[in-house]
Amino acid sequence: MKIALAQLNFHIGNFEYNVNKIISNISSAKSLGAELIVFPELSICGYPPRDFLEFDDFISKCESAVSQIAQHCNGIAAIVGVPSKNNSTTGKPLYNSACFIENQKVKKFVHKGLLPNYDVFDEYRYFEPSNVFEIVMFKDECIALTICEDIWEEEVLDTESKSGRRLYKISPMEELMKQNPSIAINISASPFNYNQDKTRKKLLQRISVKNNLAFIYLNQVGGQTELVFDGGSLVVGNNGEIKNQLKFFEEDFLLIDSEKINNSPKSEIEKTSIELIYQALVLGIKDYFKKLNFSKAILGLSGGIDSALTLVLAVEALGKENVLAVLLPSKYSSDHSVSDSLKLVETLGCNHQIIPIENGVASVEDSLKEMFAGQQPGLAEENIQARMRAIILMAISNKFGYILLNTSNKSEAAVGYGTLYGDMCGGLSVIGDLFKTQVYELCNYINREKEIIPQHIITKAPSAELRPNQKDSDSLPDYEILDKILNLYIQEREGPQEIINMGFDATLVNRVFNLVNRSEYKRQQTPPILRVSKKAFGQGRRMQIVADYSV
């Protein structure tokens, strides 16, 4: 049987856009002789729809979309992801479903059984889990059709639990294998993190070999606010060999013959994690702007590595003509901060402005002179500079329709090394899920063939330049050590005593934990952060502001 795989980028709630895209791909598949076409999880409404699912009108539009799509399924069958109603008098009102359409009619709904409720996922809030798992019969194939998490029941144990307990009580694949399927298909909306591709491949290879079954895994692609979906869909032979892999971070289309999967040659896309991160951030910016009908970005260019990296990513995503870099030097800014920044904007060819902040800062300080009389200059005066820069950037944003990009990194956000309503403001945080050491790694990747980011930006000691001769190391541990502790706490969820037992200095660990925990109130007031790790600040990490957790 000829099966078409449509790896597409959907727009949440934009039913006309999504339906037209699905119908267009059905038409293309028919012209190529496909007998079945497969679309990703919740493709009709986009994933994750979150509380839109609580609106009756939203669900009605999903049902109308299915009917409209079905009219084009003559001579071809389709598998489409959609929320569907639970007609029982008990349980949640909806299922997360795969709709099987044949001969212009909905022949079957397959409901998702395993509903993730960890990290960025909140599916049990909306959906009823299925406890019935039946194969789909079509042509000469018996299809074990599953939805995303339904194949992850063992892998989730390894990544989400340290207790040795299985997270779920049932295995949809085990239930389906009792019915002797001839092929497995999984439709997914699996968000990117920089380890996810390797993890997926190992999972699918294990399932294929264990069950002696060819496996089709179809993932969506695109940015949905903070989440980025990487595509990278897979066709795996029954021996665990990767037979086809669709593109990363791009829409793609593949026609395969189910009878020839196991005899096909190996074909796999290999990319480094840093290359994937680069592509993820570019697509995240691009889709955030496109799907919100924005076109122009602005950012403050300080001469430091974080703003330099953000500018390169923005220019790649939006085009140099749509990005404005604003240099906002103060009396503490070094000459090389300006010259390095000018060299970068010249290389990129983007627009720039130089607006000194010294007069504005002096005006604010003069207004506070009586109030601050007798007080030594300190953090308050430093933060006036950061907030003056934000005032100027937001004024330009409002006047000319730019969206301000935040340039803070994850290390700074973790320990509160940033100014609320100053350098922490913006519409989108581009590198807020990259530790400082990863920022350096990504800049070196960008410069791998030629110098784009001036080397002096990469090699000089990082500094906020808010007081004379200031360096980050005055306030923070060395980033090499800090990032290791932050990674263990935030992403690996190790407690303070566990980290100390690994050989880290107890005083330093306690200091870092206190900084992270005390800064939660800041992080909950920041813009959405593009997620590239398995545990980003925001939707995936829910912490109490008033908590106190340390040794």
Q: Could you tell me the two tokens for 165?
A: 């307990």
Tokens 């669709």 correspond to 246
Answer whether 269's CB lies under 8 Å from 245's CB: yes
C-alpha to C-alpha distance for 531 and 191, rounded to whole angstroms:
9
Catalytic residue, from 2, 21, 35, 41: name it.
Answer: 41
| CB of 101 closer than 8 Å to CB of 65 | no
Structure tokens at 528: 């959405």
Residue among 283, 329, 333, 282 at smallest CA distance from 309: 282
Structure tokens at 85: 């109603």
Out of 45, 73, 99, 148, which one is annotated catalytic? 148
How is residue 138 annotated by DSSP? E
Spatial distance between the Cα atoms of 332 and 347, rounded to a whole number of angstroms: 25
Could you say which DSSP state residue 491 is in?
I
Query: What are the residues whose beta carbons fall under 8 Å from the beta carbon of 303, sequence distance 6 or more?
Result: 327, 333, 334, 336, 337, 338, 340, 341, 457, 465
Beta sheet of 136-138, edge-to-edge order: 136-138, 141-147, 183-188, 215-219, 234-236, 242-245
Active-site hit among 2, 112, 201, 286: 112
Which residue shows structure tokens 């409901």? 111
Active site residue 148: yes
Identify whether 112 is a catalytic site residue.
yes
CA 78, CA 37: separation in Å to the nearest integer?
A: 5
* Rounded CA separation 436/482 (Å): 9
Angle between the N-to-C axes of helices 379-400 and 358-367, in degrees from 0 to 180, rounded to the nearest 10? 120
Asked if residues 330 and 356 have their Cβ atoms less than 8 Å apart, the reply is: yes
Sole residue written with tokens 């086809």: 244
Looking at the chain, how many residues does it have?
A: 551
Classified as helix, coil or strand, 183 is: strand
Q: Helix or strand or coil: residue 96?
A: strand
Read out DSSP for 513-536? HHHHHHTHHHHTTSPPB---SSS-
Q: Look at strands 297-300 and 323-327 and give their pairing.
A: parallel
Coil/strand/helix, residue 383: helix
Amino acid identity of residue 546, one-letter, is V
Catalytic residues: 41, 112, 148
